[in-house]
Chain A
Amino acid sequence: MKFVFVFLIGILFLGTQAEAQKVFGTRNGKITFASPTDDDVKSTNNEVASRIADNGQITFSALIKGFKFKYAEMQEHFNDQYLESNKFPRADFKGTIVNLKEVNFGKDGSYKVSVKGDLTLHGVTKNITVAGMIEIKGGKPLANCKFVIRMKDFNVDASSVTETVNAEVSCQYQ
């Protein structure tokens, strides 16, 4: 009987904890990337799915075929030769805000963050740490960050075009 009572209290406590956690999401965040050496090599994806929780967990998913280029031929090469998007259709990031204590999701303001987690691209997973900014406005977060992706780190052989790309993430959550 005592065990059942403790169990029920435990369930109630866990339930309260789960309820307390606030999760914000978007289906239409934005990622852009550009080559630092060739102005024509730049692309945007406006269908980035992302969730951010006030416990610091953060996820991003972007479909490779959703990256749009100015030139159709470049888009085809990107998908078929470099990122092999039929084989690896999605890029995912799953991480946490390292300095969560410095972010108040309940108070409007701008907060510098460091996010650490696993980025999976082209079938390769790498642990990365990126600096970014979370802006809370009207209770809704906007996350921004910039970082460099080395093609070689993800087994992408694009050396004839670019060795690195500068990636930029911008997600307005609801």
Chain B
Amino acid sequence: MQKWKKTILMIGGIGLLAALAVVLYVFLKPHRDVSKEKGVQLTAQALFDAFKTNEADANVRYLDKAIELNGEVADVNTNQDGHIVVNVKTNDPLFMINCTFKTNPGTLQPGQTITFKGICTGYIPDMNVVINEGVLVK
């Protein structure tokens, strides 16, 4: 085979492999597993205070971070897709830390103090700070 043909075939082969690698990277990259991350530890009240006082600053500190929170369960519900959602109290009765659990946390009762970990997705004024991918720590 002529040398130039070999070169073209080689470049084509490398290009094909690179494209395949990109496709595999996009489709096989795993989602974050918060249970394996070390969370920023604080109380539910402290997280609420941080967002209420200065949302922009709290976004820089907590948005998209793994957070490990301690607080008192207000209520336990199921969302429209069947996942367990736990609202954790703050000192404002209308404002909750709303956590959607990735794994079933078992039986939780209102008034129970729990520690859980999840990813903070942000703040909705007058409603809640949202945590998803939640896992129960204790």
Contacts and interface: CB of A to CB of B under 8 A. Distances in A.
A140 interface: no
Given A66-B132, A89-B59, A71 B26 contact: yes
Given A47-B98, A90-B122, A172 B59 contact: no
B29 interface: yes
Interface of A: 25, 27-30, 44, 46-47, 49, 61, 63-66, 68, 71-75, 79, 86, 89-90, 170, 172
Interface of B: 25-27, 29-32, 59, 63-64, 77, 79-81, 83, 85, 87, 96, 98, 100, 119, 121-125, 127-128, 130, 132
B27 A44 contact: no
Q: Which of B32, B121, B128 has the most CB of A within 10 A?
A: B121
Nearest to A77: B26
Contact of B127 (A44, A46, A61): A61
Nearest to A47: B130
Contacts, number: 77
10 contacts: A28-B85, A28-B98, A30-B81, A47-B100, A47-B132, A61-B125, A72-B31, A72-B32, A73-B26, A170-B80
A71 B79 contact: no
A163 to B, nearest CB: 20
Contacts of A66: 121-122, 130, 132
A48 B29 CA distance: 27
Contacts of B32: 72
B50 to A, nearest CB: 14
B27 A71 contact: yes
A74 B130 contact: no
- Per CB-CB distance, the 7 closest pairs between chain A and chain B, nearest first, are A65-B121, A63-B122, A49-B127, A66-B121, A28-B79, A63-B121, A73-B26
Interface centre among B64, B85, B127, B130 (most CB of A within 10 A): B130
Given A66-B130, A73-B25, A86-B63, A47 B121 contact: yes
A151 B83 CA distance: 30
A29 B127 contact: no
Contact of B63 (A27, A49, A68, A89): A89
B32 to A, nearest CB: 7
B98 A74 contact: no
B37 to A, nearest CB: 14
Contacts of B31: 72, 75
B116 to A, nearest CB: 15
A68 B85 CA distance: 16
Contacts of B124: 49, 61, 63, 90
Given A71-B29, A89-B59, A65 B64 contact: yes
